[in-house]
């Protein structure tokens, strides 16, 4: 196997391959980062072409798509006919455009783990693009964690990756706002954190009900907390932020969306209907 990119994530991928017993060739722009991996059994290639030529399966884990093309454009013909798995974060559109750039069997991937999780059962990775590339290399790829193939559309791994990251950053935004609020009033973050985790975890279960409503475009199914009530309560989040003197900017955008659903006559329905406003695009 060849791994291009030995940052925090690329190095974790190499270690997982070595641990699983796969001979691995590595390349990195800053060559020094290869040293500890060579000490652990990897082979260092000094050029991208040499690294690519060393293996049928080439894995790229670099900073962004531009860095991947900058690197692979220097490989010349060495890439032709190989399997290229790009585990660099990007958008679905970038992945689709990139998929046709080189004469390779292409798989795009999205890693749903941080480096210390790689190679543990907690890690999972989305793949999309060439089904044959996935089927042939699934066993190797599972050295990183569970592999989930999400379709022949090369953009789908990034779509699923960005979807999950969107959920995560939404949660972080709420968590950061909550911690700013309570610590401004003198409650230590460490005292509040277990309560935050408990409540967020129990509320995560509501995603299933929302998903059913969204697929059916019916926001009247099993409503226990109507949006008119939630919209009125949400105004108190904004007022409380003002009272303690913190910026409401992380959570403020949801308030007008909820109010619009209520004003449009959906007050008896669930909050999931906000998706209908988002799907209309930017106002």
Binding residues among 3-62 for ligand NAP as defined by CB under 6 A = 5-10, 28-30, 33, 61-62
Least gap, CB of 233 to ligand NAP (angstroms):
35
264 lies in the site for ligand NAP, by CB under 6 A:
no
Least gap, CB of 211 to ligand NAP (angstroms):
24
| Block residue for tokens 């907390």 | 225
Stretch that binds ligand NAP, among 65-73, 182-190, 235-243, 244-252 (CB under 6 A): 65-73
124 lies in the site for ligand NAP, by CB under 6 A:
no
137 lies in the site for ligand NAP, by CB under 6 A:
no
CB burial class (10 A; 0-12, 13-18, 19+) of residue 7? middle
Nearest C-alpha neighbor of 28 from the set 40, 55, 52, 46: 46
Give Dmax (Cα) for the chain.
Answer: 66
2 lies in the site for ligand NAP, by CB under 6 A:
no
Distance (Å, whole) CA 208 – CA 99: 33
Least gap, CB of 207 to ligand NAP (angstroms):
22
Distance (Å, whole) CA 224 – CA 244: 30
109 lies in the site for ligand NAP, by CB under 6 A:
no
Least gap, CB of 245 to ligand NAP (angstroms):
33
Least gap, CB of 71 to ligand NAP (angstroms):
5
- Which is nearer to ligand NAP, 5 or 273 (by Cβ)? 5
103 lies in the site for ligand NAP, by CB under 6 A:
no
CB burial class (10 A; 0-12, 13-18, 19+) of residue 192? middle
Sequence-ordered alpha helix ranges (H) in the chain: 8-19, 35-39, 48-53, 65-72, 92-99, 131-141, 156-184, 189-204, 206-216, 227-244, 254-261, 274-279
- C-beta nearest to ligand NAP: residue: 7
Tokens for 221, please give them. 């199914």
How many binding residues for ligand NAP (CB under 6 A)? 21
63 lies in the site for ligand NAP, by CB under 6 A:
yes
Residue 125 is classified by DSSP as E
88 lies in the site for ligand NAP, by CB under 6 A:
yes
Distance (Å, whole) CA 180 – CA 241: 9
Out of 51, 71, 104, 133, the residue judged to bind ligand NAP by CB under 6 A: 71
Binding site for ligand NAP (CB under 6 A): 5-10, 28-30, 33, 61-63, 67, 70-71, 88-89, 111, 114-115
């Amino acid at each position: 196997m060849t791994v291009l990119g030995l940052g925090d994530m690329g190095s974790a991928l190499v270690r997982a391959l070595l641990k699983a017993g796969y001979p691995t060739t590595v390349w990195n722009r800053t060559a020094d980062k290869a040293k500890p991996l060579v000490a652990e059994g990897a082979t260092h290639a000094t050029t991208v072409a040499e690294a690519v030529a060393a293996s049928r399966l080439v894995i790229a884990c670099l900073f962004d798509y531009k860095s991947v093309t900058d690197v692979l454009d220097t490989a010349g013909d060495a890439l032709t006919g190989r399997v290229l798995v790009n585990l660099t974060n990007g958008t679905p559109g970038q992945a689709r455009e990139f998929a046709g750039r080189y004469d390779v069997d292409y798989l795009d991937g999205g890693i749903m783990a941080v480096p210390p999780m790689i190679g543990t059962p907690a890690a999972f990775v989305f793949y999309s693009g060439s089904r044959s590339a996935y089927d042939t290399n699934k066993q190797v790829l599972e050295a990183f964690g569970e592999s989930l193939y999400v379709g022949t559309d090369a953009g789908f791994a990034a779509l699923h990756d960005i979807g999950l990251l969107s959920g995560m950053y939404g949660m972080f935004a709420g968590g950061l706002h909550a911690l700013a609020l309570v610590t401004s009033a003198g409650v230590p973050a460490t005292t509040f954190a277990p309560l935050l985790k408990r409540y967020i975890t129990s509320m995560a279960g509501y995603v299933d009900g929302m998903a059913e409503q969204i697929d059916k475009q019916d926001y009247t199914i099993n409503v226990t907390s109507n949006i008119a009530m939630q919209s009125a309560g949400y105004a108190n989040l904004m007022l409380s932020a003002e009272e303690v003197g913190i910026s409401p900017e992380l959570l403020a955008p949801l308030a007008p969306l909820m109010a619009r659903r209520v004003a449009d006559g959906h007050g008896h329905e669930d909050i999931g209907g906000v998706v209908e406003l988002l799907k209309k695009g930017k106002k």
